[in-house]
Amino acid sequence: MNEQTIRAALAKYNLGKMLDGVHAHDGLVQVTLAIKREEAAALEPLRARIEAELSAMKGVQNAAVVFTAHREAAPPPPAAPPAAQVADILPGVKRVIAVASGKGGVGKSTVAVNLAVALARGGLRVGLLDADIYGPSLPRMLGITKKPEVRDGKMQPLHAWGVVCMSIGFLVEEETAMVWRGPMVIGALTQMLTQVEWGNLDVLVIDMPPGTGDVQLTLAQKAALFGAVIVSTPQDIALLDARRGAKMFEQVRVPVLGIVENMSYFSCPNCNHRTDIFGHGGAQAEAARMGVAFLGEVPLLLAIRETGDEGAPVTASDPGGEAAAAFMAVAGQVAQMLQGAAVAGPKISIE
């Protein structure tokens, strides 16, 4: 199964200039059809028929046929997308939040995973989407090694620690390098949003890739984000990148819910001496400067790293520990924002 065999299968449809791109890698196929926006409804049966045929081909694990059209930029979405917008692309999902950072290496995925688990422990129905195509970390951090099933044309999310989840890492081997161009990455993300049976969720947490590029912009627009949680470490260089991330969300009218200071301090397990390895309080000061909430500080603890590597998030595997308490405090503030009411702790019911 390669690009040539896919193009050969498409030849009978006489797509001509409509065929804008074909990508095939490791059993995943994306075909892009360039059309006029007003033609989309009439061409939908053709798109579905091609997608079904490609999905049935030998060697194809998943196939997506997507429309694209060059048009003037649409006006930015409103600051707080109404539920109807979310329902258009994610029926059954009440809120979508992004966990983001301006750079890698600040523990964003660790925060995203433990935030999702903490919200689930508080009684919410929670989904978790790994949007980092090039470096998916959810399979390892959640301890999942199996592949999702496909029923009635939709992938079934996997379950771990009270959370339903999806990652490109569930579909490929752990050491596979995803050497993909932008359109295929966007296509894969679109599939994981629209072709996954997410079910009824109070909140879908998206673990964003680092940076401020196409993926972030696409998810901000397609998923109708309720808000974003920015993760940073205390030092100035990390805060500078966090600031860029926040500015990106500001430009696409997505509210920043607040900032989390990860690796905030280190306490020696032997003598309990506290060391501010990366400084301390920088994220709190930055939150005050930006006029957003400071969601809390998460210490640099061995247990967080060990449980993440073992596939048992510390919020679930050591719920009474210091690390879990820090994540639960962050989740409590996020839960209040999801409901829009001042309540104590994350155990709420979103209406």
User: Do residues 157 and 243 share a domain?
Assistant: yes
List, in sequence order, the alpha helices (H) in the chain: 3-10, 40-55, 83-89, 108-121, 138-142, 182-194, 214-222, 236-251, 282-290, 302-310, 314-317, 322-339
Are 271 and 149 found together in one domain?
A: yes
pTM (2 d.p.):
0.70
Are 214 and 303 found together in one domain?
yes
Q: Is residue 127 located within the same domain as residue 56?
A: no
pLDDT of residue 115: 95
User: Among 45, 68, 91, which residue terminates a domain?
Assistant: 68
Which residue range(s) make up the domain with 9?
3-68
Specify whether 11 is located in the same domain as 152.
no
Task: Point out the domain boundary residue: 68, 92, 113.
Answer: 68
Counts for the chain of helices (H) and strands (E), in that order: 12, 15
C-alpha span between 165 and 76 (Å, rounded): 29
Banded model confidence at residue 153, pLDDT cuts 50, 70, 90: confident
My answer on whether 147 and 296 are in the same domain is yes
Residue 349 lies in a domain: no
pLDDT above 50 (res 74): no
Looking at the fold, whether 15 and 157 belong to one and the same domain comes out as no
Query: What value does the mean pLDDT take over residues 303-313?
Result: 89
Q: Is the pLDDT at 86 greater than 60, yes or no?
A: no
The confidence band for 174, taking pLDDT boundaries of 50, 70 and 90, is low
With a CB cutoff of 8 Å and minimum separation 6, the contacts of 321 are 303, 314
Q: Looking at residue 178, which CATH number applies to its domain?
A: 3.40.50.300
What pLDDT, on a 0 to 100 scale, did the predictor assign at position 71? 43
88 falls in which pLDDT band (50, 70, 90)? Answer: low
CA separation for the pair 350, 83 (Å, rounded): 12
User: 186 in a domain, yes or no?
Assistant: yes
Q: How many CB atoms lie within 10 A of CB 146?
A: 8
H or E segment to which residue 232 belongs: strand 227-232
- Indicate the pLDDT class of residue 272, thresholds 50, 70 and 90: confident
140 & 262 share domain: yes
What is the domain count for the chain?
2
Do 239 and 312 belong to one domain? yes
Q: Residue 212: inside a domain, yes or no?
A: yes
- The tokens for 302 are 């061995």
Same structural domain for residues 114 and 233? yes
Residues 6+ apart with CB under 8 A from 41: none
H or E segment to which residue 206 belongs: strand 203-207
* Average pLDDT for 51-64: 85
* Last residue within a domain, chosen from 40, 68, 96: 68
Backbone φ and ψ of 171, nearest 5° = -100, -15
pLDDT in the model for residue 73: 41
The mean pLDDT value for 55-72 works out to 75
Tell me the one-letter amino acid at 143.
G
Q: Assess if residue 329 is contained within a domain.
A: yes
Would you state the pLDDT for residue 199?
A: 92
Whether the pLDDT of residue 345 is over 60: the answer is no
Residues 119 and 246 in one domain: yes
Q: Is 199 helix (H, G, I), strand (E, B) or coil?
A: coil
Q: Rounded distance, CA 349 to CA 12, Å?
A: 52
**In whole angstroms, what is the distance from residue 26 CA to residue 64 CA?**
14
CATH of the domain at 46: 3.30.300.130
> Token pair for residue 204?
């879908």
157 assigned to some structural domain: yes
- Helix (H, G, I), strand (E, B), or coil: what is residue 23? strand
- Residues 44 and 66: their CA atoms lie apart, in Å, by 10
Any domain includes 328:
yes
Task: Please indicate, yes or no, whether residues 54 and 183 belong to a single structural domain of this protein.
Answer: no
- Residue 345 is assigned to a structural domain of this protein: no
Phi-psi region of 252 (alpha: psi -120 to 50; beta: other; left: phi over 0): alpha
Per-residue pLDDT reduced to its tens digit, 175-205? 666 666 667 878 888 888 888 999 999 999 9
Asked, for residue 74, whether it belongs to a domain, the answer is no
Contact 133, 206 (CB under 8 A): no
Give whichever of 12-16, 166-170, 199-203 has the largest mean pLDDT: 199-203
